[in-house]
Chains A and B, each alone.
Chain A
């Protein structure tokens, strides 16, 4: 019995894969693709002049070029990203990212998990900034429930604290991997070392280093532990000196600048056309940060600067992230000062399980606890789209609810998935060695790309 015989007709849509051959996803030879696709690869859709297009499209003959695979198993591709590069000597003519190697159907899984359980699913998408994923899922659920304005102040500020610390840890991871990709191998050790200190704080608060499922619809899972303020303060005191070390090690170094400056340049119009967000968009000089421009949580109550670049190159993206660590530290200090007392989750019986102590005393509490964890809570019919600024750009959650306890459809707008589209444009005309710098500067997380 062959594989195809097992498939029931309902599983085969009217458009099956039968019309396409194995390998259509890959980068095709120039003679096999339409002119439009060649032009897309050459950036014609980004409003190039006709002469520029002509210069790019027709000049290469196939016997001078070669198509090579980079990845999916390659140390510089940050996971299982596979790039197919068309090379002429060392020059990249075309590039096509081939993704899906980490696809586990998380959006489909999300449809069978209750809103209570959904956090465990989304937190595994962007595993470098899990708390932001949980936050956007919780915010969307709360919007559907209509309780988004009723979340206790302390819960909101705890969310901000964790979100900013997560931005720091994510950018520190970028510092580490970016350094390693470019050849500053000791930077990898330093970056991971500092990140681990942030993760240690997360472990104290949430119980886990990653994949916390801590930010939940209605608030957060637990109050901050005793002594959390000192932990954060010691982190904030230690980091500036380390960041200064990074500056010495990398920013000022001629080799570092040579490797990054002028590499992977993208213009503002290209970035907007390709829906790029986050540090890629900001590196082109456009000051766009959802925390400031469409504030959520209490970002309108804290002061911080939006860091922008001016050249749109890999060096700008590096320094934007480095300085965003400093801005996040600034926000964390303000959060420490402003952290109110109070409840850490909404006292809405519908979404909040009863406290542990009540379960032993009250039959109702026990039943309530049981029902909320087995059946979950029902969310009114409707649909909502909520976007927040993750370290990689706009992460958003779109949930359509049919009034049951599980989302009817749960879609996550993953910044890495969209940002990957900028790679072919950044790489075109550059060297293979610079391709590594470009991948690194886009900072994709493949768990989020493939979901």
Chain B
């Protein structure tokens, strides 16, 4: 990105959804002890996202992207995984068994984007109320026209 940058460029890897947990496990073996961040992006209105085809390989871009940042404390290295999640099949394996620290982060992604994590022990909403409708960080979740939702209102 930066021409004048003398730093090493970020290590970003695109991973197929089927290989996601396998890749995590092998990276963990490689010395990435900590999953420092897990989040998602909804590329509904920006599907192209300007990625060189050679980086992408045979992975097709989808609406959702789960972004996982791993950190190696021993090697002082970071790696970022980008996993494509189709809207029709918004389910991905949970990294919980490999990195228990992803528990809250996966719940947040589920809450905000509606992406399910298969194998997560307690996949409930974490920030929004339990009976909330919709997933706020999705791009088609209207900002400014959120209906008033009351707890326990008769329906």
A7 touching B133 by the CB < 8 A rule?
yes
Contact (Cβ within 8 A) A409 B148: no
Residues of chain A within 8 A (CB-CB) of B103 are 40, 421
Cβ B41 vs Cβ A2 within 8 A: no
Q: Given A100-B126, A108-B137, do A409 and B104 touch, yes or no (CB 8 Å)?
A: no
- 0/1 string, B1-20, CB within 8 A of A gives 1: 11111100010000000000
Task: Name the contact of B130 in the complex, choosing from A21, A40, A107, A383 (C-beta under 8 A).
Answer: A21
CB neighbours of A258 from chain B (8 A): none
Contact with B along A4-20 (1 / 0, CB 8 A): 10111011111111001
Most buried by B among A23, A381, A409: A409
CB-defined contacts of A21 to chain B, threshold 8 Å: 130
Chain B residues near A50 (CB, 8 Å)? none
Chain B residues within 8 Å of A413, by CB: 36-37, 39, 69
- Residue B21 lies at the interface, judged by CB distance under 8 Å to chain A: no
A residues near B2, Cβ cutoff 8 Å: 143, 146-149
Tell which of A165-173, A227-235, A393-401 binds the partner: A393-401
How many angstroms from the CA of A2 to the CA of B79 in the assembled complex?
47
CA distance A317 to B36 in the complex (A): 20
Chain B at the A interface: SS class: loop
Q: Contacts A17-B130, A34-B121: A112 and B37 contacting too (C-beta < 8 A)?
A: no
Question: Knowing A24-B130, A148-B5, A417-B104 touch, does A107 contact B137 (C-beta < 8 A)?
Answer: yes
CA distance A275 to B39 in the complex (A): 14
Q: Which residue of A lies closest to B82 (CB)?
A: A383
Which residues in A have their C-beta under 8 angstroms from that of B135? 13, 15
Chain A 244-272 interface residues, beta-carbon cutoff 8 Å to B? 272
The proximity string for A residues 395-430 relative to B, scoring 1 for CB distances below 8 Å and 0 otherwise, is: 010101011000011010100011011000000000
Interface size class of B (residues with CB under 8 A): 35 or more
| A15 and B46 contacting across the interface, CB-CB below 8 Å | no
Contact B128 A100 (CB under 8 A): yes
Contacting B133 at CB < 8 Å: which of A12, A107, A403? A12
User: What chain B residues lie within 8 Å of A450 (beta carbons)?
Assistant: 127
Interface residues of A in 341-386 (CB under 8 A from B): 380-385
Q: Is A301's CB within 8 Å of the partner chain B?
A: no
Which of A74-82, A206-214, A218-226, A286-294 is the interface stretch?
A286-294
Asked if A394 and B36 make an inter-chain contact with CB atoms under 8 angstroms apart, the answer reads yes
Q: In the complex, are the beta carbons of A384 and B1 less than 8 A apart?
A: yes
Most buried by A among B35, B129, B130: B130
CB <8 Å contact, B1 and A421 = no
- Provide the bound-state CA to CA distance between A57 and B101, in Å: 21
**Would you give the 0/1 interface string for B60-87, flagging 1 where the beta carbon is closer than 8 Å to chain A?**
0000000101000100101010000000
B124 nearest CB across to chain A (Å): 5
> Within the complex, which residue of B3, B4, B50, B138 is in contact with A13, where a contact is CB–CB below 8 Å?
B138
Query: Which A47-70 residues have a C-beta within 8 angstroms of B?
Result: none
CA distance A223 to B100 in the complex (A): 45
CA distance A220 to B6 in the complex (A): 23
* Contacts A12-B134, A45-B97, A385-B69 given; does A2 touch B33 at CB 8 Å: no
Q: Within the assembled complex, what's the spacing in Å between the Cα atoms of A288 and B142?
A: 42
- Whether the pair A396, B96 counts as a contact (CB closer than 8 A) is no
Q: Does A103 contact B (CB under 8 A)?
A: yes
Q: Which residues of B contact A108 (CB under 8 A)?
A: 136-137, 143
Contact residues in A for B58 (Cβ distance below 8 Å): none
Nearest opposing residue in chain B for A294, CB measure: B76
- Most chain B beta carbons < 10 A, residue from A12, A385, A387, A403: A385
- State the Cβ distance, B121 to closest chain A Cβ, in Å: 5
* CB pair A275 B99 closer than 8 Å: yes
Query: Can you list the 7 inter-chain pairs with the closest CB atoms, starting with the nearest?
Result: A275-B101, A6-B147, A13-B114, A11-B134, A146-B2, A402-B46, A100-B127
Other than the given A99-B126, A294-B78, A381-B49, 10 more pairs (CB < 8 A) read: A2-B154, A4-B155, A13-B114, A13-B134, A25-B124, A40-B122, A146-B1, A383-B41, A396-B36, A413-B39
Q: Which residues of B are at the interface with A, using a C-beta cutoff of 8 A? A: 1-6, 10, 33-37, 39, 41-42, 45-46, 49-50, 67, 69, 73, 76, 78, 80, 90, 96-97, 99-105, 108, 110, 112, 114, 116, 121-122, 124-138, 140-143, 146-155
Binding site for B on A (CB under 8 A): 2-4, 6-8, 10-17, 20-25, 34, 36-37, 40, 45-46, 99-100, 103, 105, 107-108, 111-112, 143-144, 146-150, 272-277, 286, 288, 293-294, 380-385, 387, 394, 396, 398, 400, 402-403, 408-409, 411, 413, 417-418, 420-421, 450-451
> Please, could you name 11 A-B residue pairs with CB atoms under 8 Å apart, sorted by A?
A11-B141, A12-B133, A15-B116, A15-B135, A22-B152, A24-B130, A25-B124, A382-B1, A385-B69, A408-B41, A409-B41
